[in-house]
């Protein structure tokens, strides 16, 4: 397995007018720094939504109470690089590199410059595990960013997966359309479309990430028949307002990207300053539901600690009194709705 060649701008280059570059360097010693030139160009000023996502912050260091792996992924890993939490699907961690190291990353402990991609022997073990477990029908390639692998490596992985008869769908989780849109070439799309049904879930967090370049990347993928979804992480100071989320989620629909999840921040060490209360997420969902196209409303999910899985949460809009439901409409009106009486049939 090999990575594509890709470059990073230097921290000094971005923060040159700032006096805090030295402090940032000390954070980057614990959690690697990497920002692609195309993502760096999206920064308009110090402290904006793009800056906050990619520039090291001293607060990453004062977070001793949190766990590096709260989701207990290492306990759900029967063979290295594979996470098997749900009955019918597994995550394969094929890459440890990303074009940008997001400061809020839930896999902060994995991603890093020095890390090699999954090696041939580990890949073989993972393939053997999948082949031996016919209940597994959905494979999620993740990492790191799988599209940091070169086309030959991706081809090799996809071909091996497609050789397993019970593997039905393949998903790729990637932030490349946002952080390295030039990686999405017509050649890559031609390769991917040979392995349908193949889905891509990408990761836009802010309307400023919707640019002519990221739009073109999504266009090429959608034109290759790849259904596109999006997973957003709810981030304090970045996208924790209704206006920002509305513009992000509706903007995505116009790129043929269907909003899938808004993730509550996991309790990962080094990321506490990004966390919002659950009420913030619920208010955003309430402000979207009914007010914009239902296609633009993702599920708000909490990934529970200890590997217990994702749980969607909704604003409290149903009250039950026996077979009478009292439902709150999107405009706030309380409406009574009579359910079937459960004893009726025999």
Ligand X SMILES: *Cc1c(COP(=O)(O)O)cnc(C)c1O
CB of 116 to ligand SF4, least distance (A): 16
CA distance linking residue 184 with residue 137, whole number of Å: 26
Task: Check the annotation: does 105 bind a ligand.
Answer: yes
Query: Is the Cβ–Cβ distance between 3 and 150 less than 8 Å?
Result: yes
**Among 55-63, 72-80, 142-150, 207-215, which window interacts with ligand SF4 (CB under 6 A)?**
142-150
Does 86 participate in binding ligand X (rule CB under 6 A)?
yes
Q: Which stretch binds ligand X (CB under 6 A): 3-11, 82-90, 176-184, 334-342?
A: 82-90
* Dist CA 140 CA 160 (whole Å): 14
Q: Which residues are catalytic?
A: 85-86, 89, 98, 102, 105, 107, 266, 303, 310
Residue showing tokens 């509305």: 246
CA angle 184, 185, 190 (to 5 degrees): 105
Query: Which does residue 175 touch among ligand X, ligand SF4, none (CB within 5 to 8 A, set by kind)?
Result: ligand SF4
| Residue (22 or 311) nearer to ligand X, CB | 311
98 labelled binding-site residue: yes
In the list ligand SF4, ligand X, none, the entry touching 105 (Cβ below 5 to 8 angstroms by class) is ligand SF4
Measured from the CB atom, the residue of 52 and 286 that comes closer to ligand SF4 is: 52
CB contact burial 149-183 (16+ within 10 A = b; e otherwise): bbbebbeebbebbeebeebeebbbbbbbbbbbbeb
Choice between 232 and 249, CB closer to ligand SF4: 232
Report if residue 137 touches ligand X, rule: CB under 6 A: no
Partner touching 85 among ligand SF4, ligand X, none, CB below 5 to 8 Å by kind: ligand X
Query: Closest CB to ligand X among 77 and 241?
Result: 77
Sheet containing 228-233: which strands, arranged edge to edge? 82-86, 89-93, 138-142, 169-173, 198-202, 228-233, 257-263, 299-304, 309-312
CA distance 49 to 37: 16
Contact status: 102 vs ligand SF4 (CB under 6 A):
yes
On whether the CB atoms of residues 101 and 34 are closer than 8 A, the answer is yes
Q: What is the total count of residues that contact ligand X (CB under 6 A)? A: 7
Judged by CB under 6 A, the residue of 35, 42, 91, 234 near ligand X is: 91
| Cβ proximity to ligand SF4, 231 vs 249, nearer residue | 231
| Bridge partners for 200 per DSSP | 172, 228
Residue 288 · residue 246 · CB < 8 Å: yes
189 annotated binding-site participant:
no
State which of residues 156, 196, 216, 310 lies at the interface with ligand X (CB under 6 A). 310
Does residue 89 interact with ligand X by CB under 6 A? yes
Judged by the rule CB under 6 A, the positions of this chain that interact with ligand SF4 are 98, 101-102, 105, 107, 111, 143-145, 175
């Amino acid at each position: 397995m090999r990575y594509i060649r890709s470059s990073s701008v230097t921290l000094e280059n971005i923060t040159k007018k700032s006096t805090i570059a030295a402090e940032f360097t000390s954070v980057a010693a614990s959690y690697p720094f990497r920002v692609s030139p195309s993502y760096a160009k999206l920064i308009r000023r110090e402290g904006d939504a793009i800056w906050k996502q990619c520039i090291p912050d001293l607060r990453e260091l004062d977070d001793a109470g949190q766990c590096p792996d709260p989701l207990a992924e290492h306990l759900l890993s029967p063979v290295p690089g594979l996470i098997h939490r749900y009955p019918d699907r597994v995550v394969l961690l094929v890459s440890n590199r990303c074009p940008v190291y997001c400061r809020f990353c839930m896999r902060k402990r994995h991603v890093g410059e020095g890390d090699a991609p999954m090696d041939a022997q580990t890949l073989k073990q993972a393939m053997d595990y999948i082949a031996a477990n016919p209940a597994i029908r959905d494979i999620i390639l993740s990492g790191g960013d799988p599209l940091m692998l070169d086309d030959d490596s991706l081809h090799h992985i996809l071909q091996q997966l497609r050789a397993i008869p019970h593997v039905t769908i393949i998903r790729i989780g990637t932030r490349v359309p946002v952080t390295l849109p030039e990686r999405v070439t017509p050649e890559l799309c031609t390769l991917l479309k040979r392995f349908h049904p193949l889905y891509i879930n990408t990761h836009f967090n802010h309307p400023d990430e919707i640019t002519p370049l990221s739009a073109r990347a999504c266009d090429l993928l959608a034109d290759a028949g790849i259904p596109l979804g999006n997973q957003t992480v709810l981030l304090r100071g970045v996208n924790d307002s209704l206006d920002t989320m509305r513009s992000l989620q509706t903007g995505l629909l116009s790129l043929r990207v269907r909003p899938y999840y808004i993730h509550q921040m996991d309790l990962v060490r080094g990321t506490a300053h990004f966390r919002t209360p659950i009420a913030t997420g619920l208010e955003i969902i309430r402000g979207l539901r009914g007010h914009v196209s239902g296609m633009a409303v993702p599920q708000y999910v909490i990934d529970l600690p200890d590997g217990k899985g994702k749980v969607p949460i909704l604003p409290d809009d149903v009250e039950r009194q026996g077979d009478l439901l009292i439902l709150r409409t999107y405009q706030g009106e309380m409406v009574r709705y009579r359910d079937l009486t459960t004893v009726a049939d025999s």
